[in-house]
Structure formats: C-alpha cells, structure tokens
Chains A and B, each alone.
Chain A
Amino acid sequence: MKNQQGSLTIRNVSKRYANGVQALHDVSLDIPPGMYGLLGPNGAGKSTLMRTLATLQEPDAGDIFLGDLDVVNQKEAVRQTLGYLPQEFGVYPKASAEELLDYFAVLKGITNRTLRKETTEALLIQTNLWDKRKQKLGGFSGGMKQRFGVAVALLGNPRLLIVDEPTAGLDPAERVRFLNLLSELGENSVVILSTHIVEDVSELCTNMAIINQGQILLEAEPMEAVAFLKGRIWRKLTDKKNLPALEQEHRIISAKLLSGRTMVHVYSPDMPGHGFEPVEPDLEDVYFSAMTGCFSSVSQQPKAEGIAL
C-alpha cells in the first residue's frame, strides 16, 4: 500500500487491555494532511488511539503508516516528526517555562543553541507566554499550562501533531486562538484533534471520524456528512412524559430541555409524522445520528464518496 506523501493511514488496528476492555476494534482510517477531528464520547477509545499514534502504546494488531514510516516499528523516526499534547500532563513546578521549553527543545533534537533560542522564543511569544517565561510553572493556571503544552508540541515543526482533548482547560477566548493556531499549522501537517466537543471539529476540521466503543462509526468530511443528513432530521417540542412513546415510534437521536419542555431530534428519511418539522442539520446532528447508529446502514456511502474524491 502506497501512501500519499505525509498522510496517515491506519489499518485494522485493535487493542484490548489486560482488564478486558476492548479499547479499539479493527479501526481503519485515512488521514490526509490538514486538520482531522476525532470525535467521540468519553471512554470511546480516542485517547488509546492517540497514544498509539504517539508511539506510546502498542496495538495488538494492525498497521499504522505516516507516509512511508511504519509507526509501530519505526517509533524513533516517527518521534522525530511528532508533536504530542496529551489530555493530561504535569510540569516540573520548580522549573520556569523558558527552562523547560529549552529542555524539551533539546529532547526534540534542536541542539544548535542559536536555533533553539530562536525557536523557543518564537513559541513563547506565539503561545502568549513570553511575559511569563521566567515564572515557575508551579504557579501557572490551567490555561497557561495548556499553552505551554502546545508550545512543547509545536517544537521541531512536527509533521504529525496529536492533540488530545486540548480545549478542555481553556477559556473561550483561549480556545478560539488555540484552534486558529492549529488550523494554520494544519496546512502542511497531519493534525489530529481528539475531542468530545462538536464545535471544535465543525469549525476547523476538513476531515473527521466519529468513534464509539472502540469502533469507527463514521469517517467523513463534516460538510458532506451534514449535507447527507439534509432532509432527514426532524424536530419536535414535546413533554417529557411523551418521550417513551416517541421512542417506540421514532429514531430519536437527541433530546434537549428547552424552557421546561423537551426538544427532540429524530432521524428519518421521510417526514416522521404530525408535529415534526424539518431541521437544517448541523454537525451535532451528525454526531448524534452516528452515535445512535443511523449511519450504520449507510455509513459506506459518505466514505465511498470521500475516497472517490
């Protein structure tokens, strides 16, 4: 199998933990350069997949290729071009941001002193940590720490950037800036963004996959997936007590409280019945449709289209 230069190919990757949890089940994905969103609820296997891509974990079966690099067997080479921002990480509380970034710059192979200085300075400025560069990391807030993690991940101009739930600790402003930065980076590299926040993906990603219980439910371009749902999502404002009955008759994909009543979204190729009105679908509907299995019957279709492109 020949890869497109720079893209990431995941083939039939499975992983079962010692405690019996099947974290990944026969996962196959094709990830082109650009932003790629990996969407799924907590515990879906996102972090396992991310750690596997970040060379920190061995799959039980399957292959992963970054361009020509075999991620499973050529870890060292992959790490040379990898940026990884884990979901949770700590720092040495007594080190300053500047010191620790410099330390990681060497770990990333930037041994030239001048080059390293330029790089770390640029990153500190970009992550808006320049003023805090002398401050001990122990005193950093969650957002500052997260930005510092970004700076570390961006060291060495990675071709593969893996960011695991990056926006969780950021305030809204920081989140926006962070996502902007990522999308700009995504022009030459593979950037994989795992998240359970639908907006993160819808705003940025050119490609996405939805994962649950270790399985890929949907792999698509967000726009196409939304387009595919056009005319198939209906909504109705109803009372809570009617929900069980509705559930019997329709495929409810989501139910939200709205001013004391419940707004249900239903998946149906046709008009489901009285009281329903069509909705302009968004990515959230894609997500919930996928989660409730509405794509399972037709999931090959958007994928086939994607590949055909």
Chain B
Amino acid sequence: MKFQRIFALEFTYQLRRAATWLYFGVILVITFLVVIANYASDARDGYILLNAPIVMAAVTVICCVFWLVIGASVAGEAAARDVQTRMHLLTYAAPASKAAYLGGRYLAAFALSAFQLLAIPVGMLLAMHFAGIEAEILGPFRVAPYLTTFFFIALPNAFFATAMQFSAAALSRKALASYLVGAALFAASYTIWPLLEKGGEWGNLADPMSFGPVLSHLSIDWSPQEKSTRFLLLEGSFLANRLLWFGISLGLLAFTYFRFQFILPGTGQKQPSGKPLPPTVAAWEKLHWGTGEALPQARGTYGWATQLHQLRLITWESFLQLAKSKAGLPLLAVLALLVGATISGNLKGRGVPLLPRTDFVLEYLTAPLAGPAAFWVLIALLIIFYAGELVWRERETGLSEVANAAPVPEWVLFLSRFLALSLVLVVWLAFLMTAGMVAQAAIGGASPEIGLYVRALFGLQLLECLLFALLALTVHVLVNQKFVGHLVALLVYGFMSFAPTLGIEHKLLIFGASPPWTYTDMAGFGTSLAPWLWFKGYWVAWALLLAVVARLFWVRGREGGFAARLQLARRRFTRSSVLVSAVALGGIFTLGGFIFYNTNVLNGYLSSSAATAQRAAYEQRYRRYHNAPQPLLTGVNLQVEIYPQQRVVAIKGTYLLVNNSPAPIDSIHLGTGAGVETAAVNFDQPFKQVHRDEEHGYRMYALARPLQPGDSLRLCFQVKHKAQGFSNSGADAQVLANGTSFRNLEWLPVLGYQPYRELDEAGARKAYGLAPRPATYSLYDVAARRYAPFPEQIRFEAIVGTDAGQTVVAPGTLRRTLTKAGRRYFHYATDAPIRNEYAFFSANYAVQEGKWKSPSAGPEQDVAIQVYYPPGMTENPVRMVRSAQSSLDYYTKQFGPYPHRQLRFVAHASYAFGNHASPINITAEEGFFLMNPKEDERGFDLVTAVVAHEVAHQWWGNQLKQAYVEGAGLITESLAWYSAMGVVKDKYGPEHLQALLRFLREENETPRTRAAKPLLQAEGFYQNYRKGPFALYALSQYIGRDRVNGALRNLLVHHRPGAIPRPTSLDLYRELQTATPDSLQPLLHDLFEANTFWEFETKTANANQLKGGPWQVTLTLQASKMVVDSAGTETKRPMQDWVEIGVFAAAEAGKEGKLLYLRKHLIKSGQQTITVTVPGKPATVGFDPRNLLIDWNLTDNYKSVKLKD
C-alpha cells in the first residue's frame, strides 16, 4: 500500500508540474523536426519510405538521445527532491521501507520518463500524417512500427537511463547528478559507435541507447528492401544489447538499494570535517559577546576601485567553487587526458599515422562549438551546467539574501560569474594544449609550435567558447528556474547546431556562427581569418547586448514574476546601461551591416534552396540545347596574371574551335564560369550576341557565316577573378597569398550545355518539375554515353605571371621563365594533347626531381618527375618520385606509352589527404605529405601505392575518358587500383602486394548491406575503390595477369582519346570476355555482371601420413553462391566454380605458415569432400585462402588440421 501511495504521489506531483509537460512538448517538437527536416528529404530522393519501420526506429533513437538531457530532471527530482527541499527530515523518519520508498520513486520516475517518450510516437504520427507530407513517400499506415519502436527502443532506453540517473541522484542526493549522467549518456551515444564500429558486435553491446547500431542499419548495413519493410525486432545483437543493459540497470538499482540509507546527508558514516562537533550549547563563560562600544567603526569605501576589487574577489571565489567540484577541473582534466589519448589514433590519413604537425593536431583539437563535433559537445553541455551552477550557487546555499543586500552592483555580480566561467575555459584550453603537446612528443616527428597553439586555442577557440558561455549565463539569468534554464540553453544550443537543417543558413542569424578558420603550414590562415573575425566581432557586440540584458534582469530578490522583474529592469536601465547598449547596438549594426554588404551585396547570397532553384532553372531553360551541335575545342592559349596579395587573377584566353560535325554550325553556346567576370568575348568572324544570362552563365552567339564542317574558329575572351570580401561560407580560398590554385573547370568558358550542372537529387528534381532520372545516368542509356564532362583533347599553352617569390605550375613543358617588373612569368606548353582539365598553382614550393627513362625510346622521350611540396616535408617526395618511376615503367610496358614529358605532383594547402589526377599534373593535398608510412603498424606503404594509383589515372581517366554514366568508376578508379597492384608486386615485391590487398580488404569488415547493382554499374566508394579492384585482381589470378592487361591495352587502343561514343564499363567487359577462356566465362559473369557472393566453409580437415612421408588431407567443405539485387533480394545460384584450396604448414613465430599446396578445384553447391596429398606436415587449410571470390564471412574458411596417427 505504501509503495502505491509513494508511486502515486510522485507520479501525480511531477505530472502536475509544468516542466514535465514542457519536456513532453519539446520532445514532440524535436521528433516532428527530425522527421520533417531530416528524413523527409531523404524520402523524397527515393532512398527510403518516410514511415518505414527502420526510419521510425532511427527517429526514436535520435529523440531518445535528446531526451537524455532534456528530461534528466525527472529521475533526479524523484530521487533527491526530498533532500533538496529538506522534506527528508519528515520522509526519512516515516515508517516506509527502503524498498517501498526507492521502488515507488524509481517506478514513478520511469513511468514519467515513459510518458515523456510517448511524445516520440505522437510526434511521428503528427509529422507523417498531419503535416501535409505527400502520400508518395509514405508506405501504408501501420500501427505495428509505432508499437515496436516504442516498446523495443524507447521504453527500454527510458528504463536504463532512468535507472542510471536515479541511482546517481539518490546516492549523491543531488538532483543535478541525473543531469550529468544524462549528458554522459548523450555523449556516449555519439562517441561509442564511431569508436567501436569496426568492433561490430562489441559496438552493438556497448551502446546503451542502441543509437549507433540503429542508425547504421539505416545508413549502411540494411538493403533498400529491408529498409522499407523490415522491422527492428528483439533478436540477435539488438536483443543482447537490451538484455545486457537491462541486467546492468537492475544491478545498479540493487546497488542503490543496498547503498542508500535513510540518514541525513552529511551525517553518514564519517564526519566531513573529521573533528567531532562542538557542543551546541556553549558554556556560560564562553559567551563573551562584545559590546557596542567595541564595534568596529570601519565603513566601506565605494567607487571603481572597490568594484574592481569585488569583481576580482567574486570571480576568484566563483572560479574556485567550479574548479574544486568534481565536475569542474578534475572532470576537464580527465577529458583532456582522454582527448590526448585519442590524438594518435585519430591523427591518421586512411589509417596511416601522420607526422603530428601542430596545424593538424589543432585541426583535431579545435571545432566550432555548435558542431556538434567530437568532444566539444561535451564542453558545450558542461558550459551550460557550469553557468547554472554559477547563477544558482548563492541561492542554493541560502546565502543569496545576505550577499544580495551587499553594496555590489549587478554588473559586478554578472561579470564576475562570466569571468569565472572564462577562467575555467582558459584552464580547459591549457589542459587541451598540454594534451596536444604531450601527444606530439609521444608520437614524435614534429615539434610543437607554441605560438600557433596559443593563437589557435587562446585566441580563436577561446572566443568561440566565451560567446557561448555568455549566452548560457544570460539564459540562466533570464529563465530563473534552474532545470528549465538548462533546457532552454540546450534548445538554444540545439538550434545553433541544427539551424541549417531547419532552413536558417545565414550566419548573421545563428548565434556565434561564423565561417570556419583554417590554418595549415603552407597557406597559414589564408583568407579564412578575416571573415571569422568580422563575424565574431558581430557576435561579440551581441554578447555585449546580452550582458546588458543579463545585468538588467539579474535576480537579487525572491521575486520571479515577469512584471516585477521588468519593472526592476526598467529601474536599472541607467545612463551607463544605455551607453553600453548603444555601443553594442552600434556594433551590431555596423559590423552586421558590413558583413551583410560582404555576404549579400559583394557576394550574392544564395541559400541552398535558392541554389537548387538556380540549377533547376538552368536545366529547364537550356537542356533543349544539349544536342545542338557545337564546335570542338582543340587548342587553348592563355595569358594569366596572378596577383596573390590582391587576390586577383586576370586571364586573357583564346580557344581554337573546329567544327567536326557533319553539318554547319551557326550559333555558339558558351557557359561562363562561376565567381568570375567573363568579358570581351570575340570571334575571328563576324558574330552577334543573341542571348546573355549572367545568373545561369549561359550565352549564345550567332555567327554571320555558319561554320562549315572541318572549318575552324577562334574564340577570344577575358576572365577576371577578384575575390570580393567574403560570403556566408567564408572568403574565396582559390587565390591566396601563398598556395593559390584554380582550375579551368570552375572559371573558364565551356562550349554547349553542361549536364554536370544539372540537379541530381530525385526529390529536388520532382519539386522543380524536372523529368525524373536516376542520379547517375544509366549504363544502358545509349544517348548518355555520348557525354563526358571536359573530354576534349587540347593543345595547351599559357604564360602565367605571379609574385616574384612564387613558382607557377601548369601543364606541359616549362619553356622559359623571366622576371619582368618585379613579377615572374612562366611559359608552359604541352607537347602532346591533354584532356581539357587543368589547374594553375602559385606558391612557394620546394621541388623534388627525378627522371624516368623510357627503355624503348631515346632521351628525348624521358619524363621529368617533379614533386612540388611544402618546404620541410622531405620524406614522402622521395617515395613519390620512386613510385612514379616504377609506375611509368610498368604502365608503359603493360598499357601503352605515356604521351607527356613531365609528371608532376603539386601540393595544395588543406587538411585533406587525397589526390586528384589531372593530365600531367596531379594535385596532392597537404596532408598527403604528412603521412608517415614508416610508423604504420600494418607495415604498409600507402603513399607509394596511392602514387601508383594516381599515375595510373594518366591512362584510366585521362587517356581513356569514361562516359558520364553508371560504371564510370570501374574504368577509372578500379582500373587504377588494379594497375597499382601490378606496380607494387613487380617493383616492390609480392609481400607488398599482400599488404595492399589487406589494406583494401579492411573495408570488408565494416558491416554494410549486400544489396547493390552489378559491378558493371558500379557506384559509390566501395564498388569503385574496393570491389572493382578485387574482381579485376581475382580475374587476373584465374586467367593470368597478362591476359587481363592485354584486354586493358586493347581497351585503350579501341577508344582513342576524344572518340565518341565514350567508353563505358561494357567496353571493358567486352575486352575481358574476349580475353577469358570459355571455362571461366561463368566466373567473369559472376564477378561483373551479377552482384555475387560466395559462402565458403571448411567443416572438417583431417590428415594422416602416408608411407614415405607425404600427408593425405581430407576436407569436408560447404559452399554456396547467391546473387543479391539492388533492392536486397537474395537468390541462390547453383555453383560449379573453380575455387582454390590451400594447405599450410605450421606457422613459425611471427610468420605465416609455409604454403604446402594451392590448387583450384571444381566446387559445387552444398557439402563435399576433397582429398589432397601434400609433401609436408599440414597445420591449417584454407578454402579460397587468398579470398579471390567475394566472401564477407572469412572466419570459417580456415580450419586447423586434425592429425591422425
């Protein structure tokens, strides 16, 4: 009975509170927004049905995670309200058992949590069926997914979270403990999964909210079919997760039960002071109260000096209060320790450790607070928490009335709290800096740049934190109710983080927002710092205004009524307040005005929806000219003037155009570049401009005399790029003081309609009434095969001028350089045609040079290899030159000649690691030079392999230019990796090839759906960069590498550069079919024409020694094969395939066992027995031991051999 009463009282008490309903409402709104702003657009693009069970499950976990911090007070209140309201003096003395008291309270908290989480299904229902969502993106309405998501996800999550929060609050007797637990669970949800993703099952189990596993079902590991129909049921690892955390929760509750005592806080097992309390009634003689005469007559002095003294004192006291609490500096120190420990694990490019150069360490350590990125989410939560503590401390200890009656002005009271919080943040950043420097020292290879640390952390990151700290304090002052204050601050933080998703993109509207700053060794801050400072200046002005508001509304008395506070604020609005407000408003208007002028006047501001509309309009207006015959670009002659300091580039260009169509051409369609001014367009024939559309960059010129087939035409133009201030996303970073780079693709005019500028997303296409089409054109769309972006083969010549201290890199041979009027000029010209894609670079480079001599040709055919790298990073350039030499050696032999006299790698300032292979000049991002393969635990040199891959693109992508359809990646990226494997094997040795294959197979360990189109229609990273190379490699192991390479050679011969139709994966397939013997044609089909998966298992392996030494090994094998379509339908296929069987001797320490036997056997579906004879004593057997055929479950392929006497 008591239990019921306790439960009922708690439940109804909290249910009557406005906060409970507020939390319910907030979760409802968040659910609604997650559905509408996040998933509806995915549904419109056709990836999912909006009300598919897994989508609802994803919405549920996301909202559960938000609920952790929003509704945290429920459990805390239930567990600790009695102590905090001092009711415990009555309740603890009441004759209720501990079980009834704790049980009733816990269950009430759980019921209230469950009630709040009911907002999720309600929100989903409202968003999906009552918010005007179109019927096409919804499946039929079903009740079941609402029930399963609530009962399998929300309810258990509520149970676990409430148990943890309740226990923490009950044992610490502080309601706030539950808030901290909620924040920790919130952070865990975002961090556990990324850390443990590779751990598969462990990751599933370790995530109490099941946040990561559910979201990854939706993003990678469920097939489209599963995504639209499959329910998330209590099975497998999900069930294990629920049971595990249910057990942990029960354990925790039991612990709480045994640990909790009905005694007054502070009178527990030990005296806090360690000394016995003095008797409360003092003896008479001790009562020497003084007399009035002796009263000190000291009076205070007042004025600025006193106020500053008070400011200093309160700041320091408040700082100490925060610093000493467990959630203060100790927690921050632990956090910094953890961050420091993760640096070496995260400072990697594709798994290769990086040299810990300070700029890259800082890139990891800093982030905008409203990311929500990495550990800064935690810092944001802690700032909110600290702000609450600072604002509420005096009131909670009961000292507020004494303190507030003291002659301390409000501005001192507020500012001191802010300064205290600032000090905490400064200490945190100092911790972080220490963590970074210790990590640098531990990793080795780069020394810390203290100055850079100080600038980045105590200059930039600190300001980022302080703005938010001020906001959090102001919110707490204004809301004047601690938990609601936390909630409001959280919502504000959520808004700051997700505003762009909600359609609010302009950074003048999102508190604290600014374009990000970047700093790399090569380019420094580049152009990123100025806009950052302007925006932050603007927000500092806002912060000043907020501070004034906080001062006006600072609470000194007990009155919380709005009218009373407003009256008081009006009274406090003195001349100095007016003055400061005026300064703040002045700052807001002048800085805001200046920013607006930059973002919206100098750089026309386009919201993402306006940008989408613009692309749609481009297609609507000009698609009809797609097939209008246009002359072909065959020559480019440019005069380029780069002014790095002024951020200006001026280009004068001439295009040589030839009509290679069978009909005369009377009008020229010109697409102009974005972000540049195109002017002085002229032809060497009479012409007239008939259309000019600057917004969409489309112009048409009518020729007075049509251009006859075979005739040519000269087109002259001027293009000027002048970086104008900055835009909402920051300043243009193409022209920098050091590290300028720009491409023809963006700036220079192109001929005809450009399909690559079209809108690809299905939902957006529909919204703008464009004809539906796949995001990538179908492989079987014959018309689409005629198109590829920038496919023309051109002769290129350019004279490029830049500042005297810089080097310009452009395609072709550097004919000469000269210095004129304090500027340096570089004259480049190609010796053979290049594809129409090129970039210009201007920076202060160091150069590593090498030479490759063609064994079959004279010295005039030598290729100069040059690596233009950031000064200081000398190790990789040497590696790169060597790899490039090996690559040229191998590729020219296998595939055909390299047509150019140079091969260059040119560094581009950025944090990235990738490369981009244009003809002759390959762009290498700055991070690539920091990769330190020597330290790679995998013993693998990725730098060498990637260079081989990029050089291969000089054949695959630049000579063979693929059509803009599905499967394009197979004949560029897959072929490049396949080719690189040959280089690695021949030039570096088979063990390096094994290492490369192991590296590529790492991707197989990430769980992902099997659903996919066949490889011929390859799309996406995994197929292009992994599955394609595996298939080509497997084929080469079955039919021989020479045959595969011969087929590739033929592919190049049959598709000369510039020929139409452009090559597709089908052309590759045809060549491979020709090269493959009949017996292996089924394998070729399985590899490329169907999305095939094999399943191999070695069930038993027994061996006995024959007379005279050899061993006979008998294997029982299980095999099957299936084909999975792109929706995820799995179809078993009968198997009759040649599969390798391998037998290995026992492994010696640190080495693999010696290969005793490796031969292909014809394997059929189902179970079978095979007997082989091997010369030595066998230890293990492998079924397809080299993993040539795609089998994602490798563990059961191998078996230890059982020896029989």
- Residues of A whose CB lies within 8 Å of any CB of B are 17-18, 51, 54-58, 73, 76, 79-80, 82, 84-86, 88-94, 103-104, 106-112, 115-116, 118-119, 122-123, 125-128, 132, 135-136, 138-139, 141-143, 149, 152-154, 156-157, 171, 173-174, 177-178, 180-181, 183-185, 187
Q: Tell whether, in the assembled complex, residue A123 and residue B305 are in contact, meaning their CB atoms are under 8 Å apart.
A: no
Q: Which residues of A contact B1037 (CB under 8 A)?
A: none
Q: Tell whether, in the assembled complex, residue B280 and residue A84 are in contact, meaning their CB atoms are under 8 Å apart.
A: no
Given contacts A109-B300, A118-B298, contact A184 B405 (CB under 8 A): no
Q: Taking CB as reference atom, which chain B residue is nearest A124?
A: B290
B321 to chain A, nearest CB (A): 8
Of the candidates B266, B398, B407, the one whose C-beta lies within 8 Å of that of A88 is B398
A131 to chain B, nearest CB (A): 8
Interface of B is mostly: loop
Asked whether B571 is an interface residue with its Cβ less than 8 Å from the other chain, the reply is yes
Most B C-beta atoms less than 10 A away, residue of A54, A90, A138: A90
Q: Tell whether, in the assembled complex, residue A156 and residue B402 are in contact, meaning their CB atoms are under 8 Å apart.
A: no
Contact with A along B268-280 (1 / 0, CB 8 A): 0001110101101
Q: Which residues of A contact B399 (CB under 8 A)?
A: 89-92
Given contacts A56-B557, A91-B397, A157-B299, contact A126 B277 (CB under 8 A): no
Q: Which residues of B contact A107 (CB under 8 A)?
A: 310, 313-314, 403, 406-408
Q: Which residues of A contact B404 (CB under 8 A)?
A: 56
Of the candidates A79, A89, A125, A138, the one whose C-beta lies within 8 Å of that of B401 is A89
Given contacts A58-B567, A104-B406, contact A181 B290 (CB under 8 A): yes
Q: Taking CB as reference atom, which chain B residue is nearest A95?
A: B317
Instruction: Give the docked Cα–Cα distance between A85 and B298 (Å).
Output: 19
Given contacts A89-B402, A90-B398, contact A185 B558 (CB under 8 A): no
Of the candidates A152, A154, A177, the one whose C-beta lies within 8 Å of that of B402 is A152
Q: Tell whether, in the assembled complex, residue B302 and residue A157 are in contact, meaning their CB atoms are under 8 Å apart.
A: no
Contact with A along B299-322 (1 / 0, CB 8 A): 111100110011001100100010
Of the candidates B295, B299, B309, the one whose C-beta lies within 8 Å of that of A122 is B295
List the 4 closest A-B pairs by CB distance, nearest first. Answer: A109-B300, A184-B292, A90-B398, A126-B290
Instruction: Give the docked Cα–Cα distance between A2 and B299 (Å).
Output: 26
Q: Tell whether, in the assembled complex, residue A122 and residue B275 are in contact, meaning their CB atoms are under 8 Å apart.
A: no
Asked whether B1195 is an interface residue with its Cβ less than 8 Å from the other chain, the reply is no
Given contacts A122-B295, A157-B295, contact A86 B402 (CB under 8 A): yes
Asked whether B621 is an interface residue with its Cβ less than 8 Å from the other chain, the reply is no
Q: Tell whether, in the assembled complex, residue A139 and residue B300 are in contact, meaning their CB atoms are under 8 Å apart.
A: no
B555 to chain A, nearest CB (A): 10
Q: Tell whether, in the assembled complex, residue A84 and residue B295 are in contact, meaning their CB atoms are under 8 Å apart.
A: no
Q: Tell whether, in the assembled complex, residue A127 and residue B401 are in contact, meaning their CB atoms are under 8 Å apart.
A: no
Contact with A along B1002-1040 (1 / 0, CB 8 A): 000000000000000000000000000000000000000
Q: Taking CB as reference atom, which chain A residue is nearest B565?
A: A58
Q: Tell whether, in the assembled complex, residue A187 and residue B401 are in contact, meaning their CB atoms are under 8 Å apart.
A: no
Q: Tell whether, in the assembled complex, residue A177 and residue B280 are in contact, meaning their CB atoms are under 8 Å apart.
A: no
Q: Tell whether, in the assembled complex, residue B401 and residue A73 are in contact, meaning their CB atoms are under 8 Å apart.
A: no
Asked whether B686 is an interface residue with its Cβ less than 8 Å from the other chain, the reply is no
Of the candidates A106, A108, A139, the one whose C-beta lies within 8 Å of that of B277 is A139
B792 to chain A, nearest CB (A): 77
Given contacts A51-B557, A79-B407, contact A138 B298 (CB under 8 A): no
Asked whether B142 is an interface residue with its Cβ less than 8 Å from the other chain, the reply is no
Q: Tell whether, in the assembled complex, residue A128 and residue B289 are in contact, meaning their CB atoms are under 8 Å apart.
A: yes
Instruction: Give the docked Cα–Cα distance between A149 and B280 (Å).
Output: 17
Given contacts A57-B558, A84-B401, A127-B289, contact A111 B407 (CB under 8 A): no
Instruction: Give the docked Cα–Cα distance between A177 and B558 (Å).
Output: 31
Q: Tell whether, in the assembled complex, residue B273 and residue A138 are in contact, meaning their CB atoms are under 8 Å apart.
A: yes
Q: Tell whether, in the assembled complex, residue B407 and residue A181 are in contact, meaning their CB atoms are under 8 Å apart.
A: no
Q: Which residues of B contact A112 (CB under 8 A)?
A: 301
B621 to chain A, nearest CB (A): 63
Q: Which residues of B contact A116 (CB under 8 A)?
A: 298
Most B C-beta atoms less than 10 A away, residue of A76, A111, A126, A181: A111
Instruction: Give the docked Cα–Cα distance between A106 and B557 (Å).
Output: 21
B46 to chain A, nearest CB (A): 55
Contact with A along B553-597 (1 / 0, CB 8 A): 000111101001001100100000000000000000000000000
Instruction: Give the docked Cα–Cα distance between A142 and B281 (Å).
Output: 10
Q: Which residues of B contact A58 (CB under 8 A)?
A: 557, 559, 564, 567-568, 571
Asked whether B284 is an interface residue with its Cβ less than 8 Å from the other chain, the reply is yes
B403 to chain A, nearest CB (A): 7
Instruction: Give the docked Cα–Cα distance between A86 and B403 (Å).
Output: 11
Asked whether B409 is an interface residue with its Cβ less than 8 Å from the other chain, the reply is yes
Q: Which residues of B contact A136 (CB under 8 A)?
A: 272-273
Given contacts A86-B402, A92-B399, contact A110 B291 (CB under 8 A): no
Asked whether B293 is an interface residue with its Cβ less than 8 Å from the other chain, the reply is yes
A129 to chain B, nearest CB (A): 10
Contact with A along B423-457 (1 / 0, CB 8 A): 00000000000000000000000000000000000
Q: Which residues of B contact A86 (CB under 8 A)?
A: 401-402
Q: Tell whether, in the assembled complex, residue A171 and residue B402 are in contact, meaning their CB atoms are under 8 Å apart.
A: no
Asked whether B296 is an interface residue with its Cβ less than 8 Å from the other chain, the reply is yes
Instruction: Give the docked Cα–Cα distance between A213 and B292 (Å).
Output: 35
Q: Tell whether, in the assembled complex, residue A157 and residue B297 are in contact, meaning their CB atoms are under 8 Å apart.
A: yes
Q: Which residues of A contact B509 (CB under 8 A)?
A: none
Asked whether B287 is an interface residue with its Cβ less than 8 Å from the other chain, the reply is yes
Given contacts A89-B402, A91-B399, A107-B406, contact A132 B289 (CB under 8 A): no
Q: Tell whether, in the assembled complex, residue B296 and residue A84 are in contact, meaning their CB atoms are under 8 Å apart.
A: no
Of the candidates B288, B306, B402, the one whose C-beta lies within 8 Å of that of A104 is B402
Q: Which residues of A contact B301 (CB under 8 A)?
A: 109-112
Q: Tell whether, in the assembled complex, residue B278 and residue A141 are in contact, meaning their CB atoms are under 8 Å apart.
A: yes
Instruction: Give the docked Cα–Cα distance between A225 and B559 (Å).
Output: 36
Given contacts A154-B295, A171-B281, contact A128 B407 (CB under 8 A): no
Asked whether B294 is an interface residue with its Cβ less than 8 Å from the other chain, the reply is yes
Q: Taking CB as reference atom, which chain A residue is nearest B567?
A: A58
Q: Tell whether, in the assembled complex, residue A181 and residue B292 are in contact, meaning their CB atoms are under 8 Å apart.
A: yes
Of the candidates B286, B298, B558, the one whose C-beta lies within 8 Å of that of A51 is B558
Q: Which residues of A contact B402 (CB under 8 A)?
A: 84-86, 89, 104, 149, 152-153
Given contacts A58-B567, A139-B277, 8 further A-B contacts (CB under 8 A): A79-B408, A104-B402, A107-B313, A107-B407, A109-B302, A128-B289, A153-B402, A185-B292
Q: Tell whether, in the assembled complex, residue B401 and residue A156 are in contact, meaning their CB atoms are under 8 Å apart.
A: no
Q: Which residues of B contact A149 (CB under 8 A)?
A: 402
B410 to chain A, nearest CB (A): 9
Q: Which residues of B contact A142 (CB under 8 A)?
A: 280
Q: Tell whether, in the assembled complex, residue A108 and residue B406 are in contact, meaning their CB atoms are under 8 Å apart.
A: yes
Q: Taking CB as reference atom, which chain B residue is nearest A92?
A: B397
B409 to chain A, nearest CB (A): 6
Of the candidates B286, B298, B313, the one whose C-beta lies within 8 Å of that of A106 is B313
Q: Tell whether, in the assembled complex, residue B306 and residue A141 are in contact, meaning their CB atoms are under 8 Å apart.
A: no
Q: Which residues of B contact A157 (CB under 8 A)?
A: 295-299
Instruction: Give the docked Cα–Cα distance between A76 and B296 (Å).
Output: 22
Q: Which residues of B contact A185 (CB under 8 A)?
A: 292, 295
Q: Which residues of B contact A115 (CB under 8 A)?
A: 298
Subset of 14 A-B contacts with CB under 8 Å = A55-B405, A84-B401, A104-B406, A106-B313, A107-B408, A111-B309, A122-B294, A126-B289, A132-B278, A156-B299, A157-B296, A171-B280, A184-B291, A184-B295
Q: Which residues of A contact B275 (CB under 8 A)?
A: 135, 139
Most A C-beta atoms less than 10 A away, residue of B300, B324, B407: B300
A203 to chain B, nearest CB (A): 15
Q: Which residues of A contact B299 (CB under 8 A)?
A: 109-110, 156-157
Q: Taking CB as reference atom, which chain A residue is nearest B398?
A: A90
Q: Tell whether, in the assembled complex, residue B289 and residue A103 are in contact, meaning their CB atoms are under 8 Å apart.
A: no
Instruction: Give the docked Cα–Cα distance between A85 and B301 (Å).
Output: 21
Instruction: Give the docked Cα–Cα distance between A153 and B399 (Å).
Output: 12
Q: Which residues of A contact B305 (CB under 8 A)?
A: 111
Given contacts A51-B557, A138-B266, contact A125 B290 (CB under 8 A): yes
Of the candidates B298, B398, B405, B559, the one whose C-beta lies within 8 Å of that of A54 is B405
Given contacts A119-B298, A173-B284, contact A84 B405 (CB under 8 A): yes
B460 to chain A, nearest CB (A): 35
Q: Tell whether, in the assembled complex, residue B287 and residue A173 are in contact, meaning their CB atoms are under 8 Å apart.
A: yes
